[in-house]
Amino acid sequence: MRCRCGGEMHQASVDCLDRWGKDGPYVRVTGVPALVCERCGEQEFSEEVVIRLQKLVREGTDGALRFERLPVKGFPEALVRE
């Protein structure tokens, strides 16, 4: 399978970081099956995987394997060059 950039897509396990709701906790899910482009790194997930990820994120910290501290930084809304 080819990515839109022209690179080859390969099956891999990736980590996903997502947040449930505006103020909910961040949840890192490891070992998520995905197709990953060898050229640009684009990740594609099957519908089944997306549904399962959404369920895991909604569960928040319930059933967590471990807890990690995460530094949180805001990305500038606009980069202005003068």
> If you search the block for the tokens 């980590």, which residue do you land on?
15
Tell me what pLDDT residue 65 has: 82
For 46, phi and psi rounded to 5 degrees? -70, 160
Q: What is the pLDDT of residues 17-64, one digit of tens each?
A: 888 777 777 788 889 999 999 999 999 999 999 999 888 888 877 788
Tell me what pLDDT residue 39 has: 96
Reported as a pLDDT band with limits 50, 70 and 90, residue 82 is very low
Question: Is the pLDDT confidence value at 77 over 60?
Answer: no
CA distance 49 to 32: 8
CA distance 47 to 69: 30
Q: Which of 14, 16, 17, 52 is nearest to 33 (CA)?
A: 14
The predicted model scores a pTM of 0.73
